[in-house]
Amino acid sequence: MVKVLEIQRLGKVYRGKVPHRALDNINFSINKGEFVGIMGPSGSGKTTLLNLLATIDEPSYGTIFINGKNPHSFSRNEKAMFRRNELGFVFQDFNLLEMLTVEENIILPLALNGETQDTMEQKLVKVTKKLGIEKLLNKYTYEISGGQLQRTAIARAIINRPSMILADEPTGNLDSKASKDVMEALSEINRTEQTTTFMVTHDPVAASYCHRIIFIKDGKLYNEIYQGDNRQLFFQKILDLLALLGGDNHLSMPHS
Ligand SMILES: Nc1ncnc2c1ncn2[C@@H]1O[C@H](COP(=O)(O)OP(=O)(O)OP(=O)(O)O)[C@@H](O)[C@H]1O
């Protein structure tokens, strides 16, 4: 198994009048092609962990290897290149640019890398077909629905074929129908492209699409569970663990 992510003894202490240990001795790894979710109560350290993986914040101790590289040992410019080439980001509020069309938003990472018009066109066609948004290319972001916005953001995240997608509450701003569309799109991409995906979520239905969920509490690993082949049972296990954790769970059932 190729490890795309390896986290060793990772810790983060926020310095302040009263220092706060937001992450404490975290160890885990993610294999190529895995779809892993992270859940935990508010304040448990999920965003902190995501920020460290995204290289926008520095660990206090421990190491992170992504694709065998330790991006925290890089210079500022190298980190920016690393983010652009190795990571794809999907956010709760989409982070698309309003003054650009769907097409322009999606090809932005390629344009920044100086790719040719032909290459951009080829990659655009492939990725937008996969996400079922090929008819929306000339629309502006205010002309499309939440689910379509998130599928556009996913297209932008994967067009460079990153080593890993980091998704931060990708269904947080969506109704249940759009959430289902987005989670099915992420699953399909994970399955067909072997895109390793790491997702923070509070939503147990979204989480039930993952192969594995890691639970954290007070900055420490608490438990992890695997989907197996029964998503309904996995969903129930997620609810049970959230109840144990004292997490906020939505008591809706997964869509079949
Ligand atoms: N910049 C900061 N300075 C000091 N403390 C911080 C900072 N950022 C986060 N914290 C603290 O670290 C802990 C973990 O926060 P974090 O945002 O990672 O939690 P979370 O699991 O993402 O929460 P939520 O689900 O509410 O988004 C919290 O107690 C928070 O108050």
Residue 26: inside a domain: no
Q: 8 pairs with which residues across the strands?
A: 63
Query: Rounded to whole angstroms, how far apart are CA atoms 253 and 256?
Result: 9
Ligand 1 centroid, distance to 103 Cα (angstroms): 35
Instruction: Tell me the best of 17, 20, 202, 245 to mutate to test the pocket of ligand 1, counting ligand atoms within 8 Å of each CB and taking the most.
Output: 20
Return the closest-CA partner of residue 197 out of 205, 189, 130.
189
For ligand 1, residues with CB inside 6 Å are: 14, 16, 20, 22, 40, 42-48
Per-residue pLDDT of the chain (256 residues; tens, 9 = 90+): 899 999 999 999 999 899 999 999 999 999 999 999 999 999 999 999 999 999 999 999 999 999 999 999 999 999 999 998 999 999 999 999 999 999 999 999 999 889 999 999 999 999 999 999 999 999 999 999 999 999 999 999 999 999 999 999 999 999 999 999 999 999 999 999 999 999 999 999 999 999 999 999 999 999 999 999 899 999 999 999 999 998 554 444 555 4
Written as six digits, the tokens of 206 are 């979204």
Residue 154: inside a domain: yes
Instruction: Tell me the best of 15, 21, 44, 200 to mutate to test the pocket of ligand 1, counting ligand atoms within 8 Å of each CB and taking the most.
Output: 44
pTM of the predicted model as reported, rounded to 2 decimal places: 0.93
Residue 201: inside a domain: yes
Residue 85 makes CB contacts below 8 A (sequence gap 6+) with 113, 160, 162
Ligand 1: nearest atom to the Cα of 20: 5
Nearest CA to ligand 1 atom 8: 48
Query: Rounded to whole angstroms, how far apart are CA atoms 72 and 54?
Result: 10
Ligand 1 centroid, distance to 12 Cα (angstroms): 11
Report the CATH number at residue 182.
3.40.50.300
Q: Which long-range contacts (CB under 8 A, 24 or more apart) does 227-230 make?
A: none
Ligand 1 centroid, distance to 53 Cα (angstroms): 15
Ligand 1 centroid, distance to 21 Cα (angstroms): 10
Ligand 1: nearest atom to the Cα of 216: 21
Q: How many CB atoms lie within 10 A of CB 221?
A: 18
Nearest CA to ligand 1 atom 12: 22
Q: How far apart are the first and last CA of the chain?
A: 30
Question: Contact at 8 Å (CB) between 131 and 155?
Answer: yes
Ligand 1: nearest atom to the Cα of 49: 18
Question: Contact at 8 Å (CB) between 221 and 17?
Answer: no
Residue 99: inside a domain: yes
Nearest CA to ligand 1 atom 9: 48
Question: Contact at 8 Å (CB) between 47 and 11?
Answer: no
Residue 18: inside a domain: no
- Total domains present in the chain: 1
Within 13 Å and on the Cβ side, how many CA atoms surround 215?
20
ipTM tops 0.90: yes
Residue 46 makes CB contacts below 8 A (sequence gap 6+) with 38, 39, 40, 200, 216
Domain assignment of residue 83, given as a range: 32-59+67-245
Residue 83 makes CB contacts below 8 A (sequence gap 6+) with 54, 55, 71
Residue where the block lists tokens 């002309």 = 143
Instruction: Tell me the best of 12, 24, 42, 47 to mutate to test the pocket of ligand 1, counting ligand atoms within 8 Å of each CB and taking the most.
Output: 47
Residue 199: inside a domain: yes
Amino acid at 52: L
Consecutive H or E run containing 223? strand 220-226
Return the closest-CA partner of residue 106 out of 82, 86, 83, 90.
90
